[in-house]
Structure 1
Amino acid sequence: MAARVWLPSVWNEKKGTDEMTDKNMLLRPVWEGGQVFRETFAMVGDGEPCSAPFLLEPEKVIVIESYDKSCTFDLGKDCYVEDGRLVLTQDSRMPHTGWNSFYYDSFEEAKEGQKSNAMDLDFGPVATTDGKFLNLNAIGNPEMITRWQAAVTYETREKWTGYRPVSRIARLPRLYGKWKRKEKVRIVLYGDSISCGCDCSGLYGLEPKQPQWSELLMESLQDFYGVPIEFINTSVGGVDTEWAIENAWERAASYQPDLVLLGFGMNDRCVGEEYRKKTKRLMERIREKAPETEFVLIATSLPNPLSETEPHYFCAHQHEYAGSLRLLCGQGVVLADVQGVQREVMKRKRYIDLTGNLLNHPNDYLARIQAQVLDTVLKP
């Protein structure tokens, strides 16, 4: 795969004022509070009125948009805020639907529905823990989910009280030293479909065309350090850490990177201790050919909790991986705990508010959170 070199001020040269404002807000951490940018709300419900939860108590709503930015909606006319929720009015223009758009009642119905999937899936139907079956037609087609998600920008006075990522750049002395000396660095992203950019709207050419989380991250780091980054993404969808070990020389070590971002785990589903051992083997494999490489271990975002069912167990032990990976950290190896932030978010918001495929991919909002976590870890 060819390297991608990010040049300083590319966004400044090509983007207008509104998009520059978006750029500045996209990587503003959700845990900072203040102004919350385009938080997503799935307007789904079978009862009246339809509503969705805020992450933080809103003080002032700035703008309510459709996910694709094609429409704006009016507070009071289309919706109102009540008890920490965005609630639709009876005559709301905001797109909304029932839960039967996403969950089938029977195996037979799910099997028949899966025939219309544009992708030839090698699994399914997928049962849920509450006795229904996932509609898998959003896989490769995130609009099936995001068309029902509103994006709200608002101000809050509520303080985030949960887990907060912190800088770990001092524990990556070789990389940090090169940045401080204004030397060009080479970064490899090696992971699964989430690292490929699924389900960021920009990957599919869909509005609002938010860049992949890795692109947001690289541009932010390059702007901050003022040094070109040679960025190489060798990620492959649907793979696990065993596959990563087998292909480590070709897809990571051969580039002699200064830093490797390891983004596996969603497809492993093994217990945390086993995942830690596999990740240790993966790093050792890379360092056989690239001994000076440093690592960021990404604790994967979490799948739909309703998918913890046989025979697939798409939701299994992923929630254990942050704790397991933390045991591997030290000089030259740091953790980016994406799932730690997602767990805090899901204390109030639902998985349907955060996903692009209903199963295991983030939407633009959760993908931004992933970029925010890594951006925090990799800056002083």
Structure 2
Amino acid sequence: MKIRPLFILLIFYVLSSFRDKEQTWVAIGDSITYLNDHLNETGDRVKKGYLTRVTDKLPNLRYINQGHNGWTSAGIAQNIDKLGLVKADVYSIFLGTNDWWQGRPIGDLDDYKNDVGNKTVFGSFRIIIDAIRKLNPKARIILITPMQRNDFVYIADSKNSAHGSYRKHAGQSLEDVANAVITIAEHEGIAAVDLYHHPVLTIKNLVNFKRLKDPKTGEYVNFVYPGSAEIPFNPNTDEYPYPVESINLTYDGLHPSDAGNTIIANEIVSVFKKIGLAPKWQNYLKLTDYMTPFWKADTIVDESILPLENGAEINASLLFEARKIVSVKSSDHHETFVEGRDWNYSKDKINIIRGSKIPFLKKEDLVFMRDKAGLSMRGKAADTFVLYSENEYFSSRQLAVTYIPKKGQRWQGPAIPYAVGILPSTIGKLAGQDSLHIVFYGNSIEKGYNTSGLAGEAPYMPTWPELTVYKLRDYYSNSYISYVNTSVSGKLAQWGVDSVNDYVNIYHPDLVIIGFGMNDGSANVTPVQFREQIQKIINSVSAKNPKTEFIVIAPMLPNPNAVQSGFQHQYKNELLKLAGPGVALADMTTVHQELLKHKSYQDMTGNNVNHPNDYLARWYAQVICNLLLQ
């Protein structure tokens, strides 16, 4: 069969346009937004701000914090061209509380419509929204009203204080500002998150009490709202009025606590979902389930099998012997099959009952002597062909099995060590919540070919590099992890050497994950040559970025019956020679070899030749993450 790689590439280009891509969110705001990335300024009273909590729930979203401590909408508008705003997919504007306290005129909708300038709150918002639309006319914008506030006393300086929104300031109420924000959103036809009128974020719920001196006795008493509003506070002589026990939805009367940030995040997530920012895969799978290592999980979720007919039996093997089968579903999760009608289980096998709707393949379908147009590729043995397809042919015949393994079942494959001694800089940045930029550099496997999300098919699982980043962000509560995937289908390590400046060095990475090998083995690049080429990539990056660290992947194996089967299995031992300080090995070769002792190649492939399906792609992500997670 003559292969048409350009045609295949075009198929994946078209399919990738339907996938869930990472989206950028620019959050414009004041101290409530700013503090998300400056938690030490909360006196360590907050563990996680609302931005991080939103991206925890929507991991396909990466935020850029444009919170400015103490700023009004006028300050943002005045400096809008100096803030370094970037083109993004979505912008949120969470301002107004400082406008109220600084007594800025609110104005009216005519100020907004007539673009009167930076004289009123309405005018300032017009400047900000116009600037956003100039950056990206197609961007989605949401407005967030200020929340109610109790008496504010700054934790680092008690002289910095302000009364709550229970009374007007400069003749204006905070509710007037909130209503102005809502009016602008309604006029523009954009979404608004109304925190001011939230039924839980009320003044009485913001703090449990305010500890003040009783004017009659001089003794400290825990006064609750509204009584606390009538008791004077002297910053020169009185203790800080909000001890830890007073924290409820704010920790100082104004700034949200963890509980408050959770409410804010939930409201924003709800709106983001309504405007289409939630990834499709969230309707089908949970990231925590998919990224719990198979070798540690109490429940194996969505292990992939493809039933094969061999004589009188139609079955497929599970990795572990099961104590209980929880579910057997089609790989797209659209159909659940019934025990006793469609399948039964014995030992480590799912047996398909004749007459069931469950699809299967025959053993003789896998290797044959005549070319099948659109469904075959030249085999390794002379005059043979192997079953092959880059579309949903295999995924539509695979099943997703969730089960509880019997006690005592152990993963017999390689241990995946924590690489803290090998990658100290990377792990230090992760744990320290510092910025970490990752480059994924390889071929079609690293690009995510045959992953359901890239193919635009349910369950829309992200590619394994995306799963890796999402897991790292979640585990370390570190939203400063960014990445770029410069992998190109069909490429060999020598291309990686030749292209390293344009595809890696220009990004100044902290960590490079190198994943060549599949195509090199097919092209009969010797193990020594392959190791030397990977070394050259490392040397080239290190020369430009001396602090960069590396994870080098020993690749999964090709179908042994396919013409692509070559030297791939020999690369691991050569790559081990590169491992040492700053260079860790992710051994997918041995992992795949162990899996193949228990499962068929067809259980774990997307094209039956050299690409993983969702299940095996999860192994890639889990192995990489285990190097970086304690």
Normalised to the residue count of structure 1, the TM-score between the two structures is: 0.88
Cα displacement (A) at 1:4: 7.2
Residue aligning to 2:319: 55
- Give unpaired runs (5+ residues) of structure 2: 1-20, 26-51, 60-268, 270-277
How far apart are the structure 2 equivalents of 1:48 and 1:291? 61
Q: Which moved more, 1:91-100 or 1:222-231?
A: 91-100
User: Which of 150, 165, 173 in structure 1 is aligned with 2:416?
Assistant: 165
Percent identity over the alignment?
31
**Which residue does the alignment assign to 1:120?**
none
- State the Cα deviation string for residues 40-99 of structure 1 (Å, max 9, x = none): 111222522211111111110000000111100111111111242111112212122324
Larger radius of gyration: 2
Match of 2:512 in 1: 260
Deviating more after overlay: 90-99 vs 213-222:
90-99
| Structure 1 stretch displaced more, 85-94 or 228-237 | 85-94
Matched residue, 1:231: 483
- The question of whether the paired residues in 2 share the 8 Å contact of 1:260 and 1:293 is answered with yes
Q: Determine if contact 1:202/1:211 at 8 Å carries over to the other structure.
A: yes
CA separation in 2, counterparts of 1:144 and 1:284? 41
Aligned pairs, number? 359
Distance 1:261 1:224 in 2: 19
Are the aligned partners of 1:170 and 1:176 in contact in 2 as well (CA < 8 Å)? Answer: no
**1:365 matched to which residue of 2?**
615
**Cα–Cα, structure 1 residues 37 and 191, in superposed 2: closer, same or farther, change >3 Å?**
same
CA distance in 1, matches of 2:351, 2:383: 28
Taking the aligned partners of 1:26 and 1:356, their CA distance within structure 2 comes to 18
Change (3 A) 1:173 1:358: same
Instruction: Tell me the residue number matched to 1:282.
Output: 537
The Cα shift of 1:101 comes to 4.4
Residue in 2 aligned with 1:105? 369
Normalised to the residue count of structure 2, the TM-score between the two structures is 0.54
Name the SS for the 2:361 alignment partner: coil
CA distance in structure 1 between the partners assigned to 2:395 and 2:515 by the alignment? 24
**Letter of the 2:604 counterpart:** L
The residue that corresponds to 1:298 in the other structure is 553
- Residue number in structure 1 paired with 2:500: 248
Distance 1:162 1:248 in 2: 33
* Structure 2 SS opposite 1:30: coil
User: Is the 1:44–1:148 Cα contact (8 Å) retained in structure 2?
Assistant: no
Matched, 1:23 2:287: yes
Higher RCO structure (Cα 8 Å, ≥6 apart): 1
Using the alignment, how far apart are the partners of 2:484 and 2:281 within structure 1?
29
Question: For the residues of structure 2 that align with 1:15 and 1:286, how far apart are their CA atoms?
Answer: 34
Question: Which residue in the other structure is 1:90 paired with?
Answer: 354
Task: After superposing the two structures, state which structure 1 stretch, 337-346 or 229-238, moved more.
Answer: 337-346
Match of 1:216 among 456, 464, 467: 467
Secondary structure of the 2:286 match is helix
Find 2:405's aligned residue among 147, 156, 161. Answer: 156
After superposition, give the CA deviation of every residue in 1:122-156 in whole Å (9 maximum; x if it has no partner).
xx8412449631133x12x1x11111111100011
Output the CA distance in 2 between the equivalents of 1:3 and 1:220.
14
The equivalent of 1:325 in structure 2 is: 575
Amino acid at match of 2:442: G
Instruction: Specify the alignment match of 1:79 in structure 2.
Output: 343
Q: Deviations over 1:244-298 (max 9, x none)?
A: 0000011001111000000101011123222111111111122222222110001
Structure 2 counterpart of 1:146? 395
1:181 aligns with 2:435: no
Contact 1:4 1:231 in 2 (8 A): no
Q: Which residue does 2:135 correspond to in 1?
A: none
Please give the root-mean-square deviation of Cα atoms over the aligned residues, in Å. Answer: 2.4
CA distance in 1, matches of 2:505, 2:281: 40
Q: Residue in 2 aligned with 1:310?
A: none
1:30–1:292 distance in 2 versus 1, CA, 3 Å: same
Distance 1:17 1:191, change over 3 A: closer
Q: Residue 347 of structure 1: CA displacement?
A: 0.5
2:284·2:333 contact (CA, 8 Å) conserved in 1? no
CA distance in 2, matches of 1:21, 1:44: 26
Shift of 1:300: 1.1
Residue of structure 1 equivalent to 2:99: none
1:17–1:50 distance in 2 versus 1, CA, 3 Å: closer
